[in-house]
């Protein structure tokens, strides 16, 4: 860890000012010298590992009073970015009307981390790629653009099979983001020139030629809230992992269905643990919509979700696993008693 300036934001404007002040125009957010601190469960880790070297930290926890509300109004949902994962997961109405959100949060991390971590920080968490997190490896395009990718032919069991490029196969590690992308959530952003919003699906950027650019956020911008339209009581989050708790997904599926009798009126399928970003499987959704559900349809949808997947030496199993997870999650969603 290197010495840094610690500032405590007193209000959103001050936070945004502090974060924008030193921002160099061409630097992606991941390289910004001033970083916001919320729960700290990713940032502090990476600073100790010398992976992130900000010279200043802006503690935005004082903004929690205005930014941590959990507001379901019966039809729509608004979640403040500084709400704690544990509070949202335990919220009655979230559990009832948005089980995919409640479960994606409940199945993430550990109780202690969920008590610290915020929703905004959670969606911004960075990859767990071992080569990214260990600066003694020279080759990491995410950490050092142009240096290569040690994971490509290294130990890559945990790595992505979707959304990859020849520059980076690092997995987006979170769970909650899959629920948001499945539900067509919107993200509200506060910046120097006021607030703006965008579809959550546009927040994360696939690595392509610039794996160091991870999101559409600009330096100085902060996520203030997430909103979801409608209620999704028929929704599930299924997560396959090596151990029963406190472990990242090898493969997960966020599913939301609008089912009338046996016919699927609307379907949302998002994938975790297998892609470089929160992944919406729209091909699967297209197959499902308007169809009568049966196991064969679930299988075809799962196949479609992974049609473009490409495995490496240790992670090819994720393609077959991911398909089974999607098919099973669809069955579970259909079987739900609403």
**Whether 269 contacts 326, CB under 8 Å:** yes
Residue 242 as a binder of another protein (CB under 8 A): the answer is yes
Name the residue nearer to another protein (CB basis): 98 or 131. Answer: 131
Least distance in angstroms from the C-beta of 50 to another protein: 4
Contact region with another protein (CB under 8 A), list: 15-23, 114-122, 147-155, 288-296: 147-155
Residue 321 as a binder of another protein (CB under 8 A): the answer is yes
Q: How many residues bind another protein (CB under 8 A)?
A: 36
Residue 303 as a binder of another protein (CB under 8 A): the answer is no
Choosing from 130, 195, 210, 291, the residue that interacts with another protein (CB under 8 A) is 130
Three-class secondary structure assignment of the chain: CCCCEEEECCCHHHHHHHHHHCCCCCCCHHHCCEEEECCCCCHHHHHHCCCCCCCEEEECHHHHHHHCCEEECCCEEEEECCCEHHHHHCCHHHHHHCHHHHHHHHCCCCHHHHHHCEHHHHHHCCCCCCCCCCCCCCCECCCCCCCCECCCCCCCCCCCCECCECCECCCCCCCHHHHHHHCCCEEEEEECCEEEEEEHHHCECCCCCCCCCCECCCCCCEEEEEEEECCCCCEEEEEECCCCCCCCCCEEEEEEEEEECCEEEEEEEEEECCECCCEECHHHHHHHCCCECCHHHHHHHHHHHCCCCCCCCCCCHHHHHHHHHHHHHHHHHHHCCC
Choosing from 202, 246, 263, 335, the residue that interacts with another protein (CB under 8 A) is 246
Name the residue nearer to another protein (CB basis): 40 or 230. Answer: 40
Choosing from 240, 256, 271, 275, the residue that interacts with another protein (CB under 8 A) is 240
Choosing from 55, 65, 144, 157, the residue that interacts with another protein (CB under 8 A) is 157
Residue 251 as a binder of another protein (CB under 8 A): the answer is yes
Name the residue nearer to another protein (CB basis): 20 or 130. Answer: 130
Contact region with another protein (CB under 8 A), list: 27-35, 61-69, 197-205, 247-255: 247-255
Least distance in angstroms from the C-beta of 159 to another protein: 12
Least distance in angstroms from the C-beta of 84 to another protein: 21
Residue 135 as a binder of another protein (CB under 8 A): the answer is yes
Contact region with another protein (CB under 8 A), list: 12-20, 149-157, 183-191, 260-268: 149-157
Choosing from 98, 131, 132, 172, the residue that interacts with another protein (CB under 8 A) is 131
Q: Which residues pair with 186 in a beta bridge?
A: 199, 227
Positions in the binding site for another protein (CB under 8 A): 1-3, 50, 110, 128, 130-131, 134-138, 150, 153-155, 157-158, 238, 240-247, 250-251, 317, 321, 324-325, 327-328
């Amino acid at each position: 860890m290197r010495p840094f300036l610690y500032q405590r934001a007193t209000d959103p404007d001050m936070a945004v000012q502090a974060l924008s002040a030193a921002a160099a125009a061409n630097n992606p957010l991941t390289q910004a010298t001033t970083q916001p601190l919320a729960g700290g469960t990713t940032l502090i880790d990476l600073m100790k590992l010398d992976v992130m070297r900000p010279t200043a930290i802006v503690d935005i926890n004082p903004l929690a009073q205005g930014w941590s509300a959990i507001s379901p109004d019966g039809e729509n949902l608004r979640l403040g970015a500084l709400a704690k994962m544990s509070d949202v997961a335990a919220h009655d109405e979230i559990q009832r009307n948005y089980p995919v959100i409640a479960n994606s949060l409940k199945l993430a991390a550990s109780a202690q981390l969920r008590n610290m971590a915020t929703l905004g920080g959670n969606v911004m968490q960075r990859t767990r790629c071992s080569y990214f997190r260990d600066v003694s490896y020279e080759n990491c395009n995410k950490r050092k653009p142009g240096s290569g990718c040690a994971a490509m032919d290294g130990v890559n069991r945990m790595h992505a099979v979707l959304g990859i490029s020849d520059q980076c196969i690092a997995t987006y590690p979170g769970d909650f983001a899959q629920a948001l992308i499945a539900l067509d959530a919107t993200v509200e952003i506060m910046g120097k020139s006021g607030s703006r919003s965008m579809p959550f699906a546009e927040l994360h950027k696939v690595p392509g030629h610039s794996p160091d650019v991870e999101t559409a956020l600009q330096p100085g911008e902060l996520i203030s809230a997430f909103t979801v339209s409608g209620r999704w009581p028929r929704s599930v989050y299924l997560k396959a992992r090596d151990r029963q708790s406190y472990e990242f997904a090898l493969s997960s599926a966020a599913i939301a269905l609008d089912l009338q009798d046996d016919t699927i009126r609307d379907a949302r399928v998002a994938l975790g643990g297998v892609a470089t970003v929160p992944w919406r499987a729209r091909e699967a959704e297209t197959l499902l919509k308007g169809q009568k559900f049966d196991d064969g349809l679930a299988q075809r949808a799962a196949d479609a979700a992974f049609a473009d997947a490409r495995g490496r030496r240790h992670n090819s199993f994720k393609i077959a696993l991911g398909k089974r997870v999607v098919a099973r999650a669809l069955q579970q969603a259909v079987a739900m008693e609403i």
